[in-house]
Structure 1
Amino acid sequence: MSTTTAAAAIPAGRTEPDPDRVARGKPLAHLDGVPVYGWRGAPPYLRTKTQLAASRLKVTAEQEAAPLAYVRTRDYGDVPLHDPAAAVKMRPLPSSTKARMAARRTCSQCGKVRPVVLRGRPCSVCRQRAEKAEQRLRARTCAGCGTVRELPYPKHGRCHGCRQEQLEAKRARIDAWLAEVTVCAGEGCTKRRGSKKAARAWLKQHDWLLSPANPNLPDSWNSPGWPRRCTPCQKAHDAEQTRRQAENQARYEREERERRERERREAEERVRWAAAALADPGVVVLDTETTGLHEQARLVELAVVGSSGDVLLDTLLNPGEPVGDASDIHGITDDMVTGAPRFSDVLVHLTALLDRKRVLIYNKWFDIARLRHELELHYRDRAVREAVEEADPAEVAPEVLRERAAAEARLQAAAWLDAMTFEDVMIPYSDWVGEWSEYHGNNRWQPLNGGHRAAGDCHAVLACLRAMAEDVPAASGADEVSGTTVGEGGPWSRCA
């Protein structure tokens, strides 16, 4: 069909749509009523802001607020598209700005302006030129003495003198190796075990051993059918190996028996320790709740329970600061401790309860650190008051008074803690449970599960002690028949 016939077939009242303004695909979705197209599915005439900027066009505020379409990309999400006809031309850059831009793209060696930003570095052409020059110089430099000549050296990279020295050293190593592998390897034995000719032929088969890039020879020669020792030396060697294996096996079995015996004694000692602690009226259990786990955390609750389970002290404490997120753990809020006594108010009673007693604590390092902090604050406040009353403020600076008070408080707190006897329950109980951790290389620390309240945790510690003390058959050797010992795992019941 001719062009004239095709044009006549289109009705006069209808115009053919512009293919650049027709979308090439259906919208994937709509974002605020604006279609979102896939890759190459939007109308071809639309452009992104980056494409418009490359054409020295800038999107107006109205265009940016109301894009005509979006294109969905994998890395940048839905990118807005705009009409280039509605964009405005950018103002030409000042000559000073162009000069700065050109300076950033200027090579520091050849001085040419490159299309990429260099910031004072050489361009890729100059770098490649320098690398090739360095390779040519390296090829003309002797690897032995460093002499540079006009033509490149051979593959070995050495001059005549250095090459001769290398070959002489190679021959000396080969001769020493041949003398070693053709003589019996037995101590003091000089019997020949093969010919040097066969060993040299084996080296030639493995030509990589003789290459210049490999100056070392193998430590031993494992050629088939070529024993390294004569028959008497081989028998003596096998007998020595058998004797050493027997000694190692006997030592291992002895150490294993000693280890099991040591674990059995330790298990019995843990059981006796728990039973003695429950029967000792001079044993008390202490636990605290704090405002957190940081070094400056304050006490919000303190409890002391006797070995028989009677509560000797159970009180909330006003920390003088917000409880914070720790209330989500133990449930103690700021309203609950508002009218509670401070640590200084219960210190005298606490000292009387703990004096000359065995104080058991689950994870004692944390609780002792919190007690030390509270004691230092208590003694520091008292020392500051006494220093202010005795010293003349005009003669001693306040900073000096505070430093003296802090030092004295640390000494008094340490003396108070040294006068007490603290014992930890977490490590013995965790060893009694015997849940081994490959990551830590030790028995896993067991949770107390006492409800995160001071008195409840104290009773949970007593439950742990009772569970350990009731394990008398295992400690007395009842499991020796089955080969298991306390501390190696098993159906141990945990404290609740």
Structure 2
Amino acid sequence: MSSRPAPSGAPIRFVDGIPMYAAGEAPADLLTSDQLREQRLRPARGQRPAAYVTAHPDAAGAIRFTALYDPAAAERMRALSPGQQRAMAARRTCPRCGTVGTELIRRDVGVCADCAEAVRRRRVEERRRACTGCGRPATRPYPAGHRRCTVCALYYALWEQGEAGRAEEWARTCPGLGDGHPCGTVTATVAEVAARLREYGGWEPTPCARCAAELDRRAEASDRAWEESHLDPAGHRRREVAGVQAWAREVLADPRAVVLDTETTGKDRDSRIVEFTALTTGGDILLDTLVDPGVPIPARATAVHGIRDQDVAGAPALPDLLPRLSRILRSSTRIVAYNAPFDRQRLRYEAHLHHQARATGGHHAPEYGIHPAAAAFVAGRWQCAMRAYSTWFGEPHRDGDGYRWQPLGGGHRALGDCRAVLDRLHRMLGDPPSHDPLDGYW
């Protein structure tokens, strides 16, 4: 046995007598099976792991761990045959430049690191030469802050004028019942809205008396339903499942419904969008693009979705996409997202920064509220697929109140997450899982 250095930390637990260490605290001379393979070694027959080391939790929150082996007890792998050596040499040869490297070519990249960097730089240059509105390439890169062709620049200016009028109408009228369809009753004057904006920097429209009474009635009905769920949990559960199944059928049958997702720089209130995708319920792509957030992407965010600063270099900023996003949101009958409040808040925040900067000459004013144009921008009929799917799945929350949120499993990329939402909607048409959904009610 080799002499082992003392670990930098004590084991956090033992699994079948084998110590488990936190990440970075295991003995330095123990290797994973992949590290053994790099040295042409493999665990011997019957060799047990010498230790385990924890890894990051998976999408479901479960703690993963990796086995570590003592290389002194491992056995050497047999030598490669001539055919295997030729195959390995071919996997180290770049098909683009013919260079034979010391490491294998990544299958998802297909070329060596130098060629991949050259391709990335060419794509960045192509992005900088493309109009952010129509994508038409120009003969030379656009100047900073102006990446629109003449036609799109004119359209953008007209869109800005229309947004101002829609924002004023939104701020003065009743927002309705929260379904994205305002009732149109005027509840404030232009002077009241302007005074509020000067004082607080934001404005929330006031519901009219009729809509306020209806909202109170719905709140009372929700309270009664909560009480009935404890008196007749089985019947309440059947009604819940039938309700979300009917909702899923309505969404999938709606040709104007939109499924969208965003990837961001984090979960904070000032996080920025780095990727946006919108699909129809039939799976057709309405918009799928990386977004330059204008700020560095933190490493913890890159660890989740894999998007780096160099990936968004040359990508359009979100203000350049606002006219296209506006057409998508306003032409839809409903907007479906997994954790819809988060995506709605991110889009509203991006629009708020844009309109607030225009109103203050490029300087962000203190955010005591949301700019009316930003609030009107996301005033559609938003619906949360995560809430509906978790209700259908029926796994009780650990505190016995409501249901546990279910992970999406779309890979944390906007397009993959949108397609995963569509998969969840189709799955909700069937029966929920066989586990007892009433566990935790009492």
- Tell me if TM exceeds 0.5: no
RCO comparison, higher one (Cα < 8 Å, 6+): 2
Structure number, greater radius of gyration: 1
- TM-score normalised over the length of structure 1: 0.39
- TM-score normalised over the length of structure 2: 0.44
Q: Which protein has the bigger helix share? A: 1
